[in-house]
Amino acid sequence: MREPVSTDKAPGAVGPYSQAVKAGDTVWVSGQVALDPQTGELVSDDVAEQARQVLANLGAILTAAGSGMNQVIRTTVYLTDMNDFATVNAVYAEAFREPFPARACVEVSRLPKDVRVEIDAIALLDRD
């Protein structure tokens, strides 16, 4: 069974998709970009600030789903410039602790709203 997840503490979906979907004991979070949930505007052109907002949005959705950053088992990081890898990696390391999630990182030609970074995630649900 699938159950959509929605919170106003993260930007709303800008298309025909859910912020996240719970399925079984997992939650699948759609790619998050650096939009402020209150204004819908890009937080900054700075890639570190964008990465922090992306991870905050991701965390808010995970919380709404009954999970959290410590339950993330897989992420995909999308960058428009692989030269930003070290900067984004440092911010990413602030958000996750060992054991770190499995991860892929890819460079793409363009992202929605012309952001510099997008991250999606798969996490376990707290079932205590």
Active site residue 127: no
What whole-number distance in Å separates Cα of residue 44 and Cα of residue 53?
9
Residue-by-residue DSSP string for 32-70:
E-SB-TTT-SB--S-HHHHHHHHHHHHHHHHHHHT--GG
Q: Which residues contact 3 (CB under 8 A, 6 or more apart)?
A: 21, 22, 23
Q: Strands 117-124 and 20-23, how do they pair?
A: unpaired
- Helix H or strand E encompassing 93: helix 85-95
Residue that the structure tokens 């996240």 belong to:
20
Which position among 48, 64, 95, 105 bears the catalytic label? Answer: 105
Catalytic residues: 105
